[in-house]
Structure 1
Amino acid sequence: RFQLTWFLFHEVILHSKKKRATRADAHRARETGILGGMSDADYLSDAERDNIADDAATRLEDVTTSHFPRTQNLEYAILKAHLIVEYAITEFIRCTSRVLVETKDIRFSFSQKIEIAVLNVFGAGCSATIPSVEMLNQIRNQIRNQVAHRCTYERSLLNQLIQIPFEDADPRTLSDRQCITCLRNYCEFQSLEA
């Protein structure tokens, strides 16, 4: 279904389901003299990892197909594509992490998430994945940084992004609507990569 599912279950890695220790846990351990450790019950079983990855895969499919806008506004489509790809990267980090972590607890910038995902082997199977995600982030930042509804960005950068997964396309001749379709397909491609 996803490369993620294959990766999670063909690696021999023990995944902890023990919650992150807090200061209160540290003080309690110091007072009791029991500093803890890990028991068999603290690790996720293969079946539990399977369920987590399947749930993430289902959510990614849903987000990609139902949340990409039906719009003629290319800037809006770029912003939505960025959000969808960021969600896919966050789910990848969550599912490949050695410890059980909830999506809401992964509070990093987009660039930091990319770096963490790369450390977890994101994009290892496709040399275009990381550069294209970084280009999408650069385009999104250009749009975000514009003053008061005057959205401008380097169209040449968007053209390069479109050419990575769609080599046969000549982005200079594509309408905004066709670029939006390419972005939708790009989001589906990135969800599959995650």
Structure 2
Amino acid sequence: MPKIIDHDQRRREIVAVAKKLIIQGGFEAATMRSIVAAAGFANGALKRYFPSKDSIVAATFQSVLAEMNEQMGADGPSPDPREALRHDLEATLPLDQYRIDSARVLLALWEHSVANEELATLYREHLHDWRRRLAERLAAARGKGESADAPAVTELAGEIISVSIGANVTSLMFPDGALIPEYRAYVDRVMRNLDD
């Protein structure tokens, strides 16, 4: 009886291998040859799932962004709007080794997306969705009856996104997590100053 292969699972495994290689050695480390070797596939088998390195890169980028969206999408332990906002803020900052590693992958993929319009479009869509979701959370948490597109809300959403992206980049220079207390303090300041 022939062995049944779960092709979606194989794709996820290949993306996980690509992500691991990028974490360990940067974008250049994730060559087709190194991915095949690390995944334990024959050379031709990889092409069945991903015809090119760009297709693996796109899938890896989508995977990391999906993980980030998933972390933000959960309301956390409380339906309280302020706690939901805190949860989202913490989900986007490099507050543990997993998120520091994910930042390394994102940085490599951001650089690659500059020359790849498909990836750039994917990330712009992610930024747009993130800003919208964050503005909704902020408006609810501020409790002033503001709409999500009120200037004070959209300005704060933009600032938080910029700080989060900057924190993810900076965390790569401190992979031991030395900046985690600073990022936690930032979340506390945002929460304290919501009513301003």
Please indicate, yes or no, whether the TM-score normalized by the shorter chain is above 0.5.
Answer: no
Decide which structure has greater helix share: 2
Which entry has the higher C-alpha Rg, 1 or 2? 1
